[in-house]
Amino acid sequence: MLFLSQPVGVGFSYEEKEAGSENPVTGAFQNASVATPDGIYPVINASAIDTTDLAAMAAWEIFQGFLGALPQLDPGLDVKKEFNLWTESYGGHYGPSFFNYFYDQNKLIANGSISGTALNFNSLGIINGIVDEYTQAPYYPEFAVNNTYGIKSINDTVYNYMKFACFMNNGCLDQIRNCRQAKEYPANPSTDVLCSEAQDMCRDNVEGPYYAYGGRGVYDIRHPYDDPTPPSYFEDYLNLPAVQAALGVSLNYSDANNDIYWAFQSTGDFVFDNFIEDLEMLLDQDVRVGLFYGDADYICNVSRYTNPIDLANV
């Protein structure tokens, strides 16, 4: 079993590392010339991998390097190598994109165009994943007031605002459509701007009011917002010197990386539509796909499966 921190710069992964700290406002890395260092942090070129599809390419290279450097893991030419990938949350983007790219690389290996180790698909698991924002966005206000636990986390004014922001002219769904139309012409320099604006519109005005006015958990609506689930003390544990020594790492653990977040934000990757298309392709290739959703997670909520909205009639 291989755990991959992706994209580079999260978890214990890094391009380079340096003594520094995190900016208390932006969360971005700042070196010793700005503030007194409190640990060792990853130093990365965040704009080098600023979309999920670029992350897929990087992941392929990581797997190839990992397997190439450890020939003892090769079971032999007569043994089929099967690849199973499990992801969660933004893994609704990562999983389908990675498998799609890996499938294309496998074909190139098979026809002799490139060298490498083919990874034959067996199954893809997505746990509480955000696959398609156009599908998910309308259900943020719905889940906030109508969920398994009978929690009405926002009042009618906030609920109606979220609904209006989603469906109004030039609202969330309109802007996602504009982004996707622009992506059909990749040479258009305004594409990233349109997609980033669509992401901002949806996240700030349709998803975000819940965080400002709901007072409930991001990943578990049963918990108050100031009682996060899971608790954050696992980060303190992973940053203990003894734990880092046992793991063989030499830098701080980062559960998130704001430099990467803003890089992905700038391209609008969150609202791209190719991930649901990738998922359809995998199903056509008879890859086993498992989707698992809990009933308390707000940010990747399950209500779109249980409380369908007819978008055509709204």
pLDDT at 308 over 60: no
The residue ranges of DSSP E strands in 128-201, in sequence order, are: none
pLDDT at 164 over 90: yes
pLDDT at 254 over 60: yes
First-residue to last-residue Cα distance in the chain? 46
Q: Give how far the C-alpha of residue 263 lies from the chain's centroid of Cα atoms, to the nearest Å.
A: 13
CB neighbour list of residue 19: distance below 8 Å, 6 or more residues apart: 31, 32, 37, 39, 40, 41
Would you state the pLDDT for residue 313? 40
Helix (H, G, I), strand (E, B) or coil at 249: coil
Distances (CA, A) of 93 to 59, 175, 181: 13, 19, 19
As a whole number, the mean pLDDT across the chain is 88
CB neighbour list of residue 87: distance below 8 Å, 6 or more residues apart: 94, 95, 124, 125, 126, 127, 129
Burial of 266 (0-12, 13-18, 19+ CB in 10 A): middle
Q: Which two tokens stand for residue 166?
A: 């989603």
pLDDT tens per residue, range 30-80: 899 999 998 899 988 888 889 999 999 999 998 888 888 887 776 665 556
**What whole-number percentage of the chain has pLDDT above 70?**
93
Q: What is the mean pLDDT of residues 251-272?
A: 89
Would you state the pLDDT for residue 120? 81
